[in-house]
Amino acid sequence: MVAQAVWRWLVPLLAAAAVFSAVLLTTPPGFASIADVLFGSIRGPNAEAAAYALGAAAGLALAALLVVAALVAAAHAVLGAWSRRRRAN
C-alpha cells in the first residue's frame, strides 16, 4: 500500500529534478552558477549569466513539477476508478 502511494509524489519530483539538471547542463555557466550565487560575490556578466541560468532552471522545473503532478493525479484517479469498477464486477 505504501509503495503505491510513493510514486504519486516521487515521479513529479524526479521529473522536476531532471528538468532542472537538463537546463543547467545546457545553459552556461551550468552547475557552477549554484555555487556562484550561493557563496560567491560575483559581479557583471558572470553574475547575470548565473542568475539567468538558475532562474530559467527553477522556472522550468516548477512548470514540469506542476504538469507532471497533474498528470500523475489524473492517472491515479483513472486507475482508481478502473480498479473499483473491476472489483465491482
Q: Are 36 and 46 in contact (CB under 8 A)?
A: yes
Domain count, the chain: 1
- State the pLDDT at residue 43: 86
Instruction: Residue 18: give the domain boundaries.
Output: 2-88
- State the pLDDT at residue 3: 60
pTM: 0.85
Q: Determine what percent of the chain is predicted with pLDDT higher than 70.
A: 94
Q: Is the pLDDT of residue 69 over 90?
A: yes
Give Cα separations from 52 to 19, 33, 40 (angstroms).
15, 9, 16
